[in-house]
Amino acid sequence: MRAKCSSSHCSVASGINQNRKLGESRPRRDLLDNGLGRTPQMGWNNFNHFPGKLNEELIHQTADAMVSTGLAALGYEYINLDDCWAELNRDSQGNLVPNATIFPSGMKALANYVHSKGLKIGIYGDAGTLTCAKTMPGSLGYEEQDANTFASWGIDYLKYDNCHNNGISPQERYTKMSKALLATGRPIFFSLCEWGYADPATWAPSIGNSWRTTGDIKDNWGSMISKADQNDAWASYAGPGGWNDPDMLEVGNGNMTTEEYRCHFSLWSLAKAPLILGCDIRSMDNDTFELVSNKEVIAVNQDDLGIQGKKVNKTGDLEVWSGPLSGDRVAVLLMNRGPSTATVTAEWSDIGLNSSVIVDARDLWEHSTTTSIQLQLDATLDSHTCKMYVLTPH
């Protein structure tokens, strides 16, 4: 007999309606009223591939590539700058100053360029006195002034980090910036980067559009999978307007196999995580492009219902992840985390289907459909591989 998940958050749903109720009873009362993040955000950020290596040319070329590759048309819209874009010192009026060596044309010109491509631009700040790389000031005590500066430049997204915070509670520091952003009148997506320290899923939905649930991801299987697991604990808190964030994608950065990256992209999509690319999209290889441009997988991430898929069964290293989709469909991910080939099985009872239900199973990576499946879905999977499906009941 197969062991079921032991923790409360991955208890097994007994029917599709129960799954629905799970979603509806999410403990999310007040949502941040900025109209953003109705589905998880999609875009790019430089940190995973180019930490601390920003410049105007990189952003221009990345925006160009987002459009020319077709990724923009698939929904990737934010071009986000991470740490190290500003001078270490504010100007005499206390304003943040873009680093003139790397951004000689300034931030308004950069935002105009990104907007001219039909894209949006994100920037990075810190809810402390200094950013994590210590190369630029944080916004603690300057929240309104900095929010106004960002709005005046035409910024659309703020990733707000947690370094050098003087021990002040994150609720206090992040709420202040959230209010300051709202007060600008410009819709600015608010992405909290608090690393999950003070359980942000329990308080951030009312002030942010996403919140990190983990420390920084690294480009290796162990790191990636541990972020997925940590993020899974908070599934019930996510939904339209505010999302759990297990950190940005490493797909295409070279240190995992293509099949491991396929699992990474599948897990993030199923878990309604932000799809923020972290590779050099100017020079993606075909495998990377095939992974991040899979429309059917992206559609799971961007599904209207907005319910985070969860780990619903674990038998040693063999796992079933699943979540409800609009139209009474169900997303299923079968994954082998172990060292050798094995068969992974999703029973209907694992994934919220009554035993009598007959489904068509669309394999989202093979782009093929198997009709009239009953009772269970299984796949024989090599080490560190997965299969992802959408099941449509008859």
- The residue ranges that bind ligand GLA (CB under 6 A) are 47, 82-83, 131-133, 161, 193, 216
40 near 274, Cβ under 8 Å? yes
Give least dist CB 281 to ligand GLA, A. Answer: 18
Give least dist CB 83 to ligand GLA, A. Answer: 4
Distance CA 201, CA 9 (A): 14
Give least dist CB 53 to ligand GLA, A. Answer: 12
3-class secondary structure, 363: strand
User: Whats the size of the chain, residue-wise?
Assistant: 394
Contacts of 259 (CB under 8 A, 6+ apart): 382, 384, 385, 386
18 near 352, Cβ under 8 Å? yes
- The one catalytic residue in 83, 126, 156, 161 is 161
Give whichever of 161 and 232 is closer to ligand GLA, judged by the CB atom. Answer: 161
291 near 69, Cβ under 8 Å? no
Distance CA 211, CA 213 (A): 6
Give whichever of 58 and 353 is closer to ligand GLA, judged by the CB atom. Answer: 58
What phi, psi does 78 have (nearest 5°)?
Answer: -95, 130
Distance CA 294, CA 175 (A): 36
Give least dist CB 101 to ligand GLA, A. Answer: 18
Angle between helices 143-153 and 170-184 (to 10 degrees): 40
Distance CA 264, CA 244 (A): 15
DSSP letter (8 states) at residue 251: T
End-to-end Cα, the chain, rounded Å: 29
Distance CA 62, CA 280 (A): 8
Q: Is 216 a catalytic residue?
A: yes
Give least dist CB 146 to ligand GLA, A. Answer: 16
Give whichever of 130 and 375 is closer to ligand GLA, judged by the CB atom. Answer: 130
Give whichever of 196 and 241 is closer to ligand GLA, judged by the CB atom. Answer: 196
Give whichever of 274 and 324 is closer to ligand GLA, judged by the CB atom. Answer: 274
Give least dist CB 247 to ligand GLA, A. Answer: 7
- The one catalytic residue in 64, 216, 287, 360 is 216
Q: Identify the helix (H) or strand (E) that includes residue 48.
A: none
Give whichever of 193 and 333 is closer to ligand GLA, judged by the CB atom. Answer: 193
Angle between helices 143-153 and 106-116 (to 10 degrees): 50
- The residues that are catalytic are 161, 216
